[in-house]
Each structure stands twice: as structure tokens, then as C-alpha cells.
Amino acid sequence: MIDLKNLVKNNYSELILFSIIFLFFFQMLSDLGERIYNYALLGLEPTLHILALLFLFSSIALLFFRKAISDKILFIVGELIIVSRLIEPLLKGEALLILAGISVSCFLIFFPALFTRSKNREQQTGIILGVSLAIAVAMSILFRTVNSTIDVSIYNWFQIIGWVLGILATLMLIGMLLQGEKSDQKKTTTEESPAKFGKILLLALGLSSVFIVIWFTFISPTVISRWTEGNYIGIIVGVLVMLTLFIVGMILKPDLMNAIKSWMLWAWNGLFAVSLTLTIMIHQIIPNYGLFFPDNPAAYPIVAIPTTLAHHIPLVLMILLSPIIYIDFILLSRELLKIKPKPAKVGGSFALGAGLYIVIMIFMQVLPNVWGYLRPISTGFRDLYWLAFLIPGLFVTLSIILVKKNTMKFEKTARELKSKSIILTIIGLIFLGTVVGALVTNPHPGTPDEGKTSLIIMTYNIREGVNNSGEKNYDGQLELIRSVDPDILALQECDPARIGGGNSDVVRYFANKLNMFSYRGPKTVANTYGTAILSKYPITNVAAFFMFSTHQQIGTTQAQITFNSTLTFNVFSNHPAAKTPEAKVYQIEEILSRTVGLENVLLMGDFNFRPYSESYNITVATLEDSWEQRWLSVAATRIDHIFLSPGMTVLDAVYIEKGHSDHPAYWIEIQL
């Protein structure tokens, strides 16, 4: 019979264990951040769900341990990470939020506890942690790419992927427990003088900064694409190439790192931090005003600067320099492992350097998008989205100063890595699968029937892909859109390609699933609620422009769509919002100024004004209300509208009242 105990013990792999644990951590951290935002902040009035942030302070539990954490306790905590992750996608509502929180909180106990129990294997363990982190990021990119930015391993029946990984991680945890049976009695051969709390705290800040940069940036490259309007597939390939080079180098030739001097390491980190920040800042530049939107209504509308090749220079540098974050992770882990801190010290350090720090960084990323709603705190964060990336970049650079020269030696550290060929094969398959997945899911619109005599036009405020209950509902909204089968689709509140939306890209998801052309207007770095245009016909002459704002930045998407090579529509997807009648008038006048002299205008969106209001009357003085044109009366309670150039014939007009968003979908059929 097979001796399962010896089989597991002999095939135990820290690399497999940590790769899966890191992956599960990022998945659950992403879900936790998304659920807190959806439940506590999406309604723009904070609710008690925000208390779920307390899960991030779980490292405090280590304060109650005076001795090193045993393998049995680590096994229990590690298994809770896994079990919570596997059950979480099966749940809804607050239960989902709680399970994601439990998984994240257990990781924030498990990971710091590792540093209290090293058996003089700092160099080997450090490199395993760094390579495992890189493999976890590669798996995250794969799982998101093959399902159009939604992680396939937590989606529908594909959850079997997560269960397979969970079972594998459980076996590795058992192997860790069995390995511990024969190593618990070993004593360390060297003892360093107790490290000061300040050093441990700074090392914890450095490690947490690596997690933050990865979460904010790399686990879902669509985030980078939406910052920059860069080529989605090109960005995925670039990030994966650098990940692969790092992993291959660390497995086959880690001693190459010995050529890097301390000053080179600091310079590399500094350049990465600067290039990451500039990748965002350069796309936030406002013509004539720099990085900050003006408060003068006369300055608007402001047309966003078109993206040029020069704008992509920081992006390319950031991707090329990105392996430094994994090298940093190795070095910081080694330095902390050498200290062998007591549980109380490492627990306190991670409670502050991970828990409190991550909470602060979450708000620094979210507040620029809701700067007018959480006064007075949020107001100061307007236009400071880039700051949430500069700070972790600087913390990593500063923490590297604590790394000693002997920590930077890489001789013979990879000799104990098992099955190098298997690891390289796996990373090769991940690379190939991701590229193929990106190519297959990328939309390839065909040529629609040009013999059509009418077009279906639709506008839909999708509330960031979330329904009234705060649940992500991309597929429910997609089903509604498919039932209408629009030729041209305008979306509003479609900006979730950031941590508040789980780093998913609803515009890309819809465009891929519907096989339509798309243009997502204002870049996410502008911190608008997002507007987009999708079409069965080619989209050209695109532009994004901004209107005056009193409490949130307003952006509109503009494009031309040509039908049958002769008939061109000027399409606008719009979502203005203001707290005063004066501001609403400013906004609609600014929008209408962009339609002057244009033919076949389709101005649609969530206008946040009702018929017979001053803004409505200003609009229908220039354009026609499609509902009134079809039904000879106005939809008196509606704020979602489609306005048309005079002379266009509306054959039908329908509001769809369904709970897939907090807005109805509105579609019309126009005669060609």
C-alpha cells in the first residue's frame, strides 16, 4: 500500500505551498477591498461594513505568543487561509465579506509567523519566498486574462481550479507539519543581538509595500492598460516576460545577483518608484493646468491630451524595472529571517506596518475618486491618485537600506530547489496560456449586415458592474444587454479597473463577451466614474473631455461610428453630476458646446436631471428627447436619456426595469 505520510513528506515543497498561499492572499485581499467598497462606500455614505478593515489588523494576535509559533498552529492558520478561500466564492453578501476577511487575516498571522521560526535557512527560504511571489502573480495574470479580467478560478464551475490548488496546498501544509517533526529539536547555530522594534517595523513596511504595489498594479494588467491607454496584450506580455526572466534567473543562476552593488540596488528601486509614479502622473496632466483640475467653470470643457508614444516611455521603463520588487522581497525576507524576531515584536510590527499601513493606502487610492463625498478628509486627495503609488515605492527603497551586505550574497542558494525543470515548465505553460488566453478573448468584431434599415441604440448606467445589493453582477448585466442586442451601447459608471472594483475591467469584459469595438473614455487616473462606448461598427476619432465639477470629476466619452461607409454618427456617453442647479447648467452647456456643428448626434447617458428642469430645457432647445419623439410625452421621472439631432426618426423606445443595476437600461430603435 502507498504510505501517504511518507509520500507527502518526501514531496513537500515550500515553493508550491507559498505560491498558492500568496495567490490566495491576493485573491481574497482583492475581494475584501472590493466588497468593502461596494457595501460601505459605493452608496457614498459609509456604512458599518467599513469595519471589515479590522481584519487587516490580525497580526496583533502574535502579541500573545512568547515563544516561536509551532508547526501545528501554522498548519491550522494556513488551513484557514485555504478553506476560507475555497468557500468564499460560493457565498453572497456579508458572508462573502467575512470569509474573505478571515482568509486575509489568517495570512497576516501566517506570514509574519514564518519569520519567528527559521532554522538557519535564510538564503534558501528568502529565494523561495521571492520566486513563489512571482509565480503567484503570474498565476493571477493567467486566471484573469483567460476570463476577460475576472479571475476564472473563482468563477462558476471553474472554481474547480481553486479547489485543486487548495487541496495541493493542504498536502504541502501537511508536509510542512511532518517535516517539522524531525526539525523542531534543531537549535540555531548563531544568535544575533535582538533587533530594535524600529528596524523590524521598517522591514515590515517594505514587505507590505511590495504586496501593495503588486495588488494595485500587477495582479491584473488591465489596470495598467486603463491608466495609459496602452496595448492590453502588449502590457500583459511585457509584465510576463520580466516575471519569467526573474524566475528563470533565480532558479538557474541566482549568483548573477552578486554583481549588483548596494548603490545599484537603491538606484534600481528609486528608478522603479519614479517610473511607476510617472506612468500615472503623465496621464493625469490637464492641458494648461498641470496635474490639478481648475475650479473655474469658464475653463471647461477640457479635452484630454491624446496619448502619444512619448506617454508610454515611463510605462516601458516601469515594466522593464519591475523585477526589482521580487528581488526586494527576497532581500527583506532574508534580513527579517536573520533577525529571528520574537512573535510579539513581529506581530506589533505587522499590525502597524501591514494592517494600519494597508488601510491608509486603501483610502489613498479610493479617496481621489470620491473626493467630494467624504468631506473634509477626502477633499485634500483630489487629483492625488499617483500618491498611492509613490509612497509604497519610497518605502521599499528606504527599507532596502537596512539590508546588510552578507544578506545580498546569492551563492549556492538554489541548489536545494527541487524539480527545477518542472518549475520552468510550469512557468512556461503559464506564459503560453496567458498569451493564448489574451488573444482568444480579445474581441474580433465582424462586419454586421449593412442591409439593415434601423439601429438599436442603448444607454446603461451599470453602477460599476454591481447590482442594488452590492453584488458584482457583470453576467446579469451582460444578459440584459444581450437581450436588447444593441448596435451602439453607451455605458456609465464603468470604472472598476481599480481596487474598489476588484481590479476587474467591466468594459473589456463586456466588449470581449459581446465581440464589439470599444472605447473607454477618460483614463482611470482622471478619477471619473467612467464612461464608455461599445459598437458593432468601427469606432474612430475618439476623445475624452471633462466638465466643471463641484464634488466628483466628470468625464464624457466622444467618438464617431460609421455605418455603411457613408453614414457617420457622433456619439457621446455622458454622466454629469452636481449638487447645485448652477453647476448642472454649467455642465450641460459644456457638453452641448461639443455638439455644435455636428450631424447625427447621439447624446446619451445618466444625466442626473429630469424633464422640465432647467438643464433639460437647455438640452431640448438644441436636440430632441428620443422618448418624447416616439411617445409624444416625456418620461417625467427619468434621468437616463438619449437625445438626438433633429430629424432622426425613433421607431421604438423602451426602459427596462430590472435589478441588475440601480438604473434602468434605456434603448431606442432609430430608422436609417
CATH number of the domain where residue 23 is located: 1.20.1250
Please give the tally of structural domains in the chain. 2
171 and 24: one domain? yes
Q: What is the pLDDT of residue 117?
A: 75
536-561 residues labelled b (16+ CB within 10 A) or e (exposed): bbebeebbbbbbbbbbbbbbbbbbbb
Q: Which residues lie below 8 Å from residue 214, measured CB to CB, with a gap of 6+?
A: 26, 133, 137, 325
507 in Cβ contact with 491 (< 8 Å): yes
pLDDT for position 61: 94
Helix (H, G, I), strand (E, B) or coil at 23: helix
Does residue 408 sit in the same domain as residue 451?
no
Pair (138, 208) in one structural domain: yes
Averaged over successive runs of 10 residues, the pLDDT of the chain (672 residues) comes to: 58 86 98 90 75 95 85 93 96 92 97 81 84 97 97 95 96 84 44 73 96 97 96 96 94 82 91 97 94 92 94 97 96 90 92 96 92 82 95 94 79 58 88 95 82 93 90 94 97 92 96 96 92 96 93 92 90 90 91 95 95 95 96 92 96 92 95 91
Closest CA to 663 of 516, 502, 481, 461: 461
- Other C-beta atoms closer than 10 Å to the C-beta of 580 total 10
* CATH assignment of the domain containing 495: 3.60.10.10
Domain identity same for 400 and 503: no
H or E element at residue 328: helix 324-339
- Domain containing 495 equals 446-671
Residue 1 covered by a domain: no
Give dist(CA 623, CA 326) in Å, integer: 56
Sheet containing strand 539-547, strands side by side? 302-303, 539-547, 554-563, 567-574, 601-606, 640-644, 624-625
Judge contact between 378 and 230, C-beta under 8 A.
no
- Look at residues 412, 440, 468 and tell me which one is the last residue of a structural domain: 440
- pTM for the model stands at 0.94
Residue 10: DSSP 8-state: H
Domain boundary among the residues 409, 440, 471 is at 440
138 lies in a domain? yes
Residues 423 and 299 in one domain: yes
pLDDT of residue 1: 47
Residue type, 180: G
Rounded distance, CA 548 to CA 296, Å? 7
Q: Do 474 and 612 reside in the same domain of the chain?
A: yes
User: Which element (helix H / strand E) includes 191?
Assistant: none
The answer to whether the peptide bond before residue 445 is cis (omega within 30 degrees of 0) is: no
pLDDT for position 655: 96
Q: 466 and 408, same structural domain?
A: no
Do residue 257 and residue 341 come from a single domain? yes
Cβ atoms of 123 and 416 closer than 8 Å:
no
Residue where a domain stops, chosen among 440, 461, 481: 440
Bridge partners of residue 606, in order along the sequence: 640
Closest Cα to residue 508, out of 491, 527, 488? Answer: 491
Pair (498, 432) in one structural domain: no
pLDDT tens, residue by residue, 290-320? 999 999 999 999 999 999 999 999 999 999 9
435 and 521 part of one domain: no
Print the SS3 string covering 291-309: CCCCCCHHHCCEECCCCCH
The one-letter amino acid code at 497 reads: A
The confidence score (pLDDT) of residue 5 equals 62
Residue 244 within any structural domain of the chain: yes
Domain assignment of residue 164, yes or no: yes
Same domain, 148 and 50: yes
One domain, residues 257 and 373: yes
Q: Report helix, strand or coil for 230.
A: coil
